[in-house]
Amino acid sequence: MLLAIDCGNTNTLFAVHDGTDWRAQWRTATHATRTADEHAVWLTQLMALQDLKLSDLSACIVSTVVPQSLFNLRNLARRYLNVEPLVIGDAHVDLGIGVDIERPQEAGADRLVNALGGRVAYDGALLIIDSGTATTFDVISADGVFKGGIIAPGINLSMQALHTAAAQLPRIAIQRPDKVIGRNTVGAMQSGVYWGYVELIDGLTRRVRAEYDAPLTVIATGGVASLFEGASCEIEHFDAELTIRGLLEVWKRNGGSLP
């Protein structure tokens, strides 16, 4: 079985694929100092709930935007899976995605993996919106080339900034308010953050559509993307497995196979 690890700034996703289907997925808060031993204990317990064992895992692929985490994730694969992990960004790893921006080396591993995950499942040119610590908008041409995009602060960062910078504003949870006009402080904050982000998504998507010279299929993914389902007028598909699908495809393109 394949262990796919997607390490973001806020959360890290661990997913197990058996060669046919994804068997299980788990998320944990990203802590760059979490050791391989700590990862192994946590993962062992969760796998047991799915009748899985570390010894069932015969391969590993890692994507991370947190360089400090890579050392421990490599050690997890080496010491507990007895395999050398395939790491997105290593020179020998073929992603199968062209990069057409001014500084190709600046394209994040997570954005390129998303691009490949989108290409596997959807036809034509794509706009992929990933809602995480940052909200990214990435344009992928119909022939599979990363053309650039937009990086905006994520919705959680906006809430944190409101609470941190304004002494009288509380920390709140993200949720869709019933009305746009808030009748109290929490309601006003929830409306501003939630509907503000819906309009950010829809407004930037309209501008990208107007600027790009071909039709775009708009796909949303990421930890909080599902919050906007039914609220955004521009998002056409909500795809929770976009990133891990991209990781699986990278692994296959680099010679990976499962019995």
- On the CB side of 69, CA atoms within 13 Å amount to 22
Any domain includes 145: yes
Catalytic residue of the set 6, 110, 130, 239: 110
CA distances from 160 to 28, 167, 173, 228, 244 (A): 20, 12, 10, 19, 28
Across all residues in the chain, what is the average pLDDT?
90
Distance CA 105, CA 89 (A): 9
Amino acid at 154: G
Question: Same domain for 32 and 145?
Answer: no
Domain assignment present for 234: yes
CA dihedral 143, 96, 4, 117 (to 10 degrees): 0
If asked whether residues 120 and 80 sit together in one domain, one would say no
How many CB atoms sit inside 10 A of residue 178's CB? 8
* Token code pair at residue 49: 């709930």
Is there a single domain that holds both residue 123 and residue 178?
yes
Same structural domain for residues 238 and 113? yes
Same domain, 162 and 213: yes
The two tokens of residue 136 are: 């990214």
Angle at CA 95, nearest 5°, toward 54 and 106?
A: 110
Calculate what percentage of the chain has a pLDDT beyond 70.
96
Confidence band of 259 (pLDDT split at 50, 70, 90): low
CATH number at residue 178: 3.30.420.40
Average pLDDT value for residue range 57-82: 94
Q: What is the pLDDT of residue 229?
A: 86
Q: Between the CA of residue 40 and those of 70, 131, 200, what are the distances in Å?
A: 15, 28, 39
| SS3 state at 53 | coil
Q: Is residue 174 part of a domain?
A: yes
Query: What's the rounded Cα separation, in Å, for the pair 236 and 213?
Result: 19
pLDDT for residue 227: 82
pLDDT at site 168? 65
Number of domains comprising the chain? 2
Token readout for 50 is: 């799915």
Question: Domain of 34?
Answer: 2-87
Is-catalytic flag, 90? no
How far apart CA 194 and CA 210 sit, in angstroms, is: 24
pLDDT, one tens digit per residue, over 122-176 is 999 999 999 888 899 999 999 999 999 999 988 877 777 776 766 666 677 777 8
What whole-number percentage of the chain has pLDDT above 90? Answer: 63
pTM listed for this prediction? 0.86
